[in-house]
Structure 1
């Protein structure tokens, strides 16, 4: 049946239907800006990783960085569908496709990025921790296996959201993806959210522990100038990645659980649902900002990548020698760990 023309004072309720996504204009503009800014950096990253010279002793960090880049590319592929839906410029079939496929792809990318950023932070600390306990974690084969497990786990959790049945609903201007879901699909969606939140909490624990240990080592090495320089370098890189992690992903998870309660009809007040939706969209936008930061991480954390980018600019080629020496030192240190 067509919706009633009765509209509440807040402009959110038509008939018995609560409209939560009728204020997407500002979000769409910001998503377009993120897409425009991050696309060149991501394409440059792909080119640089392909052209980067293969080091004799590959490090586990490079494995996690490549997987983080794959997650970024997935998000870049899915963002145009979200932008078109939020603009209201997409045909009905494309809006349904976004709800079934590209929206799920956004969340696969989001949680893959969370997992690999946490692994990068942990790995950066372990590179400076010369103990037997860290050896297994820094083997390239183990890093590749762990990356494969993460992708398979995320697909196992997320793909059913694409495959479970959806309702046939009347075409409408403001489509809420949860309105397409059958009861079983809503229950699986709620389970997905809580499983992914558990993944986020475990990743956050690894970030906090690694950051705390790096800071502890930095403070403990103040009396030794040589160790102080190494500890400061590692602590600086760990702190930079941890800060980006916190800014991008923590606010989203503060809002995610209560918003899921609104999607599953536990929370029914329309004004509360609207506020939770706007909070979810604001923090999801913040999460997408990591697309702009990740090329900087690739540049500063992976020496062959940095060499390749610098070789593109004549004024920076004089840095190549020092980068080569830095890479040789990292390879020697890695070889020492593995002996």
Structure 2
């Protein structure tokens, strides 16, 4: 499946081992993927389908309880992108189970490949948007609390979807299948004998995509480092502590909430930024580090820009590493729900209430939603400007 990202779409059109010797290039393959991918993608399919549908279920109930803010709009769209990827997995499981033989239509090859690309870069951009949103919430808490900015969240999501889909259109409308020398139908791989001009354009496109990723990754790291610095340097305002002490004469609960909430907000925010950066570092960073050398290894440009003279062992190691990084990118649809739990207290609290009800065999949806909604109203009355929900 993963051979169908924008990086793979054209880079696999020449599988160059010894391309400088003749026009016909040998197919640079990794045999272990025909056993590895069907197993791991089957697991990801089952867990990812359950996890992401459950996330949509939770987000819908939170929306009905008036708890839908800008960050939950990003979560919902990120979950939809993950589900698009998960729904395409059965086709790729079948493809690798048949040792790289695509038995479906050419359109399905192009569609499922485009879905993988859309999921990858929508996930990257939405996680970037979540990081910027959390930075804004921590550095401008009064502004963040005074408005949910749903309109801005919707506009950002529309722009992300439009940009990502627009970038995938050329590959969606171009032929995706090709017959190899063993009469197997390859999906976005197996193309050979492209000229150097075409290969160089492909390489330039891939490096542009890699550059875009590192720009977003740099933005995410900077935002989360600034968030951490602000949180670690914060001290409870003396006026807030004095106010809480006065209120405690009337209500012990108000004092407890006022003193514990700042620590809880700081802890959750730090957990969230670690989760976001962790997903980037595990799922996306290895692929984009390996992608550049792998592209040049596979293209085997004969001379000029992009030409490399690596031995067969190096080429094979790069291709094997590339397969592993593709698997890691597929894991993001399982790890994104972890980010949701750290990003918002209400999301995590709803899940805990829901699980308690399921364990005790009680009805859960309405009760858990009502509890979260009531808690949200009580906190709003106790503190009109929460830093993070």
Does the alignment reach a TM-score above 0.5? yes
Name which of 150, 175, 179 aligns with 2:190: 179
Name which of 254, 259, 274 aligns with 2:289: 254
Deviations 1:206-264 (A, max 9, x none): 21112111221122125768555533332222222222222111111111111222333
Deviations 1:111-167 (A, max 9, x none): 111111121122123212227997999621111111111111111111201213467
Taking only aligned residues, the RMSD between alpha carbons, in angstroms, comes to 3.8
When normalised by structure 2's length, the TM-score is: 0.70
Deviations 1:43-85 (A, max 9, x none): 2223333333435463110110011101101110122222211
Please identify, of 53-62 and 233-242, the stretch whose mean Cα deviation from structure 2 is larger.
53-62
Gaps of 5+ in 1: 1-7, 9-14
Q: Is the 8 A contact 1:118 1:206 kept in 2?
A: yes
Partner residue in 2 for 1:286: 328
Name which of 77, 84, 87 aligns with 1:74: 84
Quick check: 1:219 aligned with 2:228?
no
Q: Is the 8 A contact 1:49 1:305 kept in 2?
A: yes
Q: Is the 8 A contact 2:287 2:325 kept in 1?
A: yes
Q: Is the 8 A contact 1:53 1:304 kept in 2?
A: no
Q: Where do 1:24-173 residues align within 5 Å?
A: 24=33, 25-56=35-66, 58-88=68-98, 92-94=102-104, 96-97=106-107, 99-130=109-140, 139-165=149-175, 169-170=179-180, 172-173=183-184
Which entry has the higher C-alpha Rg, 1 or 2?
A: 2
Alpha-carbon separation, structure 1, partners of 2:293 and 2:381: 47
Partner residue in 1 for 2:214: 201
Quick check: 1:245 aligned with 2:280?
yes
RCO higher in 1 or 2 (8 Å CA, sep ≥ 6)?
Answer: 2
When normalised by structure 1's length, the TM-score is: 0.79
Gaps of 5+ in 2: 1-16, 18-23, 242-258, 302-307
Alpha-carbon separation, structure 2, partners of 1:158 and 1:263: 21
Alpha-carbon separation, structure 1, partners of 2:136 and 2:97: 45
Please identify, of 149-158 and 310-319, the stretch whose mean Cα deviation from structure 2 is larger.
310-319
